[in-house]
Amino acid sequence: MNNAWVLNRRPIGYPKESDFKWIESPLPELDEGEILIEAHYLSLDPYMRGRMNDSKSYAPSIKLGGVITGEVVGKVIKSKSKLFNEGDYATAHIGWQKYGKIDAISARKIDSELAPISTSLGILGMPGLTAYFGFLDVCSPKPGETVVVSASSGAVGAIVGQIAKLMGCKVIGIAGSDIKTDYCLDELGFDFVINYKSDNILSKISEYAPYGVDIYFDNVGGEISDNVISNLSVGARIAVCGQISLYNLEENENGPRIGSSLLINQASMTGFLVFQFKSRYHEGLTKLSQWLIEGKIKYKEDIVSGIENAPSTFIGMMKGKNFGKLLIKIV
């Protein structure tokens, strides 16, 4: 039998556990070209919150009663495709469930000898690719530039900051606890890190970036981003990756208040989705794998055991309780 979490009701503000429902169903039968995956790890990511709303976005909303969207890595236990053999490992978007079938073309085969399979959902998966293309392609960094990364201890932000250091940039991180700021400084090698819960962001940015911020990699939006954008340099670039501070608002905040800063500094602000670089995923994964093997970049995983804990863990993530790439261990 299969078990899955489905959307019971659309959340208002922060999700509640009652917004999710645990169901049981028979294993699905395969059609030609499909594979059945036994999920070993489930990735929990902020974008999932937006899919729970019934509103226009870059991807369809989850239907009421539908399995919560999400990517897993696991073992192929049945195959009706020439692309996969039983026993292969793959990543696929089958959602919050123990087993799921998918068209084999939509799955990605994983080399389980290269690194732990969990990394295919983190540094060698969507977060890593988001950091790689979002920073290098969207931001076009140059050596010596000052880079600010919000949510800098998170799955994407930590990789962005490390790539920025590899590119010869000065890196200022923003995180939400002393443990996270120490990690960015001591483990990842950032130049400065601001604790947004205890520091004055505006004054710290001015202190650490006296000539302005050349690149801002924005994972959070809201007041934090307002403060960073108030300190842009001429020709600055902003990559909008996520807006987690806004995802659970019951009412829209006033703003944005960034137009004058963009105009005065002739700056550019670009929203992007990792999927626009799909044709170049191999390039990104090859480079990230090389840096990982050479010890030039590090990663941190926050693993919670048991798919039954997915809703409570997801809610905690939306409140900043995770530290590193958040995964649910299923098998």
User: pLDDT tens, 81-99?
Assistant: 999 999 999 999 999 999 9
> 257 vs 25, which has greater pLDDT?
25
Secondary structure of residue 90 in the 3-state scheme = strand
In which residue are the tokens 């087993």 written? Answer: 99
- Global pTM value: 0.93
What CA–CA distance (Å, rounded) separates 78 from 172?
47
Average pLDDT of the residues in 9-32: 96
Residue pLDDT, tens place only, 131-165:
999 999 999 999 999 999 999 999 999 999 999 99
Split at pLDDT 50, 70, 90, the class of 58 is confident
pLDDT higher than 70, residue 251: no
Secondary-structure class of domain 2-121+300-329 per CATH: alpha beta
**Domain map of the chain by residue range?**
2-121+300-329, 126-275
Whether residue 188 contacts residue 161, with contact meaning beta carbons closer than 8 Å, is answered with: yes
User: pLDDT at position 258, please?
Assistant: 77
Q: What is the DSSP letter of 98?
A: S
What CA–CA distance (Å, rounded) separates 48 from 62?
9
User: pLDDT at position 260, please?
Assistant: 72
Residue pLDDT, tens place only, 276-324:
999 999 999 999 999 999 999 999 999 999 999 999 999 999 999 999 9
260 contact partners, CB below 8 Å, separation of at least 6: none
User: pLDDT at position 248, please?
Assistant: 75
Which CATH architecture does the domain made up of 126-275 adopt?
Answer: 3-Layer(aba) Sandwich (3.40)
